[in-house]
Amino acid sequence: MAGLTPNIPDAPVTGYACIQGYLRTLSGAPGVYRMLDAQARVLYVGKARNLKARVSNYARPGHSPRIERMIRETASMMFLTTRTETEALLLEQNLIKQLKPKYNVLLRDDKSFPNILVAKDHPFPQIKKHRGAKKEKGTYFGPFASAGAVNRTLNQLQKAFLLRNCTDAVFESRTRPCLLYQIKRCSGPCVGLISEADYAGSVKDAERFLSGRSTRVQEELAEQMMAASEAMEFERAAALRDRIRALTMVQGSQGINPRGVAEADVVALHMESGQACVQVFFIRANQNWGNRDFYPRVAEDVSAAEVMEAFLGQFYDNKEPPRQLILSDAIENADLMTEALSEKAGRRVELLVPQRGEKAELVSGALRNARESLARRMSESATQTKLLRGLAEAFDLDGPPQRIEVYDNSHIQGTNAVGGMIVAGPDGFMKNQYRKFNIRGDELTPGDDFGMMKEVLTRRFTRLLKEDPDRDKGLWPDLLLIDGGAGQVSAVHEIMQAYGVEDIPMVGVAKGIDRDHGKEEFHRIGQHPFALKRNDPVLYFIQRLRDEAHRFAIGTHRAKRAKAVGATPLDDVPGVGAARKRALLAHFGSAKAVSRANLADLTAVEGVSEGLAQKIYDFFHES
């Protein structure tokens, strides 16, 4: 008698057979394709001028080891057709940034860049740093590579043009000049020490300077200085001299200021040992406005052209490209990228790979910076890897942790309490992963550190279980470090038991005897406290992690406390915004006086209607 064959479900078709199965239904239209593994995780996102031709290429052997691995893991594919290849390119880069596929070149650091804004919504325009969407009325200059580059330029521009940087609220409330006027950084428009016409002239000069017409501005100032000197107006001549010096310092701090390049980004790529560094120099108005390095995720067998193309597509996905991109390496689809960036900018964008001249010198300088930056990073990475291995040995972990989360609380006798979480890994501190927690437990006793830590970890694990229940997105920590001793560790362990995450190692870092650096004790559940040798590099590493968490928590607490200091009961009155709040405080002198005012007094305030006056009155007298 023959035995029964069990009904075993067929294994999913993967690899070449899976890809070949899609060829019958594909058309020759342009579009974007996604390769997914057996768990429906996206492995790769690509674009194609002809989807059928591109996918049929994957259905035949003869690829690099990286692509062969990707094909073996592919269990399904998804397709989206587009009208043009340009549209496919833009969609591809957008999906790569959203999905972060395993086999794509990925730009990991993609923050926005600051600008200088000369606001134009006031008779005496304010000059300030601006980051984000350009919604305010005014003239924008940028981008600058960093907040430091903006601050240095603003500092010198204040000396040169004496423009105000105070907010409109502060401007309206001044009755005498502030300290900036005393140290010759502002012309005192808030108290009428400069006319609107003269101030407008200074604004115009500042805009001309930021637009690249600095030489003419300095020539005019020199002429004015000579005229003042001849008229024996020595104080005015000295002030003009100081302004010329300030402008010279701005140019000096900018380093290379190319004569033949008015507006461009210089993008240089250096690759070594499976790692890459892209250096970007921002040239605007014939001035160097700083540089920034990026470290995209790459594989060892990926080409420079592929890395450069992926970087450009992702970098300019949410930024306006300049008129020229001066590149160290040519890309395969230069015409397509030019069309896509030009369409995004609404004007012609040019891609150049110079071989000689000033532009080639700019690329050479950027390449040198990229090479040196990557060498430093590789050296730091080797040190970090060694420290993570030492950490694993010290705490008996299964292997070097890839994600360490460190927690700390900050408060003053329980007020304005916040929790801070910092994250570190093989590449150092991961600042885009930092999180702050406003402690909102109403049942907590003021100053209850155990209760605060419980609330922070409860919220953290609740979010993790919701966002990454399968632990496959890299959001779960391999090690938790808690600022505290046995009590803190016990409180956190209760939370971990409640959420079923007891498999994550957790260590409490206590100050130890005399609360002295170097005498830290480490607490773990079910084990005796222990210490490391004072000169152990792992101990210094843990101290740096703990100090960074402390710095982040204190900074968050101070910001919350500063906001609370400026708060008034008027903030909670419906219909009362910043302008009406200022008008009420200016009229009555304090929020307490507003709360005691009658309806007739409230309606006497400019901008307060009878209806709003009734709302304010009812808010303070509803009991």
Q: Where does a domain end: 357, 376, 395?
A: 376
Domain boundary among 228, 253, 278: 253
Same domain, yes or no, for 368 and 280?
A: yes
Residues 167 and 275 in one domain: no
When pLDDT is averaged across residues 18-41 and rounded to a whole number, the result is 91
Q: 3-class DSSP state for residue 140?
A: strand
The reply to whether 246 and 359 lie within a common domain is: no
DSSP string across 345-360: HTS--EEE---SHHHH
User: How many separate domains does the chain show?
Assistant: 5
pLDDT tens-place string over residues 406-419: 998 887 665 678 88
Mean pLDDT of 317-345: 91
Q: Which domain holds residue 88?
A: 15-99
CATH number for the domain spanning 605: value is: 1.10.150.20
Name which residue leads in pLDDT, 559 or 265.
265
548 and 587 housed in the same domain: no
> Which pLDDT score is estimated for 213?
66
Q: For residues 473 and 103, what is the distance between their CA atoms, to the nearest angstrom?
A: 15
**Structure confidence by residue, pLDDT tens digits, 476-502:** 999 999 988 888 888 888 888 888 888
pLDDT-derived band at 65, boundaries 50, 70, 90: confident
Q: Inform me whether the pLDDT recorded for 9 exceeds 90.
A: no
In a domain, 390, yes or no: no
Name the most confidently modeled range: 3-7, 302-306, 376-380.
302-306
Question: 577 with 543, same domain?
Answer: no
Whether 384 is in a domain gets the answer no
Q: What is the pLDDT of residues 169-195, one digit of tens each?
A: 888 888 888 888 888 889 899 999 999
**In a shared domain, residues 420 and 516:** yes
Same domain, 555 and 408: yes
364 and 484 within one domain: no
Mean pLDDT within 442-459: 77
Question: What DSSP character marks residue 530?
Answer: B
**The pLDDT of residue 442 is above 70:** no
In this prediction, residues 419-444 reach a mean pLDDT of: 85
pLDDT tier at 2 (50, 70, 90 boundaries)? very low
Q: Residue 90 sits in a domain of what CATH number?
A: 3.40.1440.10
Which position has the higher pLDDT, 568 or 153? 153
Is 551 contained in some domain? yes
Does 359 share its domain with 446?
Answer: no
* Single-letter code of the amino acid located at 369: N
Whether the Cβ atoms of residue 256 and residue 362 lie closer than 8 Å to each other: yes
The reply to whether 72 and 128 lie within a common domain is no
As a whole number, the mean pLDDT across the chain is 84
Q: What DSSP element (H or E) covers 236? A: helix 234-253
The answer to whether position 1 is within a domain reads no
Q: Half-sphere exposure of residue 483, counting CA atoms within 13 Å on the CB side?
A: 25
Helices (H), 282-427: 304-315, 334-345, 357-394
Domain for residue 589, yes or no? yes
| The pLDDT value given to residue 4 | 41
Whether residue 311 lies inside any domain: the answer is yes
- Identify whether residues 66 and 136 lie together within a single domain: no
554 occurs within a structural domain? yes
Domain at 558, CATH number: 3.30.420.340
Q: Where is average pLDDT lowest: 85-99, 184-198, 254-268?
A: 254-268
537 and 501 within one domain: yes
**Any idea what the CATH number is for the domain that residue 365 is in?**
3.30.420.10
Edge-first strand listing for the sheet containing 127-130: 127-130, 115-119, 138-141
Residue 459 burial by Cβ neighbours in a 10 Å radius (0-12, 13-18, 19+): middle
Q: Last residue of a domain, which of 360, 376, 392? A: 376
The pLDDT score that the predictor gives to residue 401 is 94
DSSP 431: G
User: Is 4 part of a structural domain of the chain?
Assistant: no
Q: Which amino acid is at 362?
A: L
Query: Which own/partner pairs from 385-392 qualify as long-range (CB within 8 Å, at least 24 positions apart)?
Result: 385/426, 386/537, 387/537, 387/538, 387/541, 388/426, 390/536, 390/537, 390/538, 390/541, 391/479, 391/538, 391/541, 391/542
* Stretch 112-134: mean pLDDT: 88
- Torsion angle, CA of 371/372/374/379, rounded to 10 degrees? 140
Q: What number of residues does the chain have?
A: 623
Assessment of whether the complete model's pTM goes beyond 0.75: no
End-to-end CA distance of the chain: 90
For residue 599, the model assigns a pLDDT of: 84
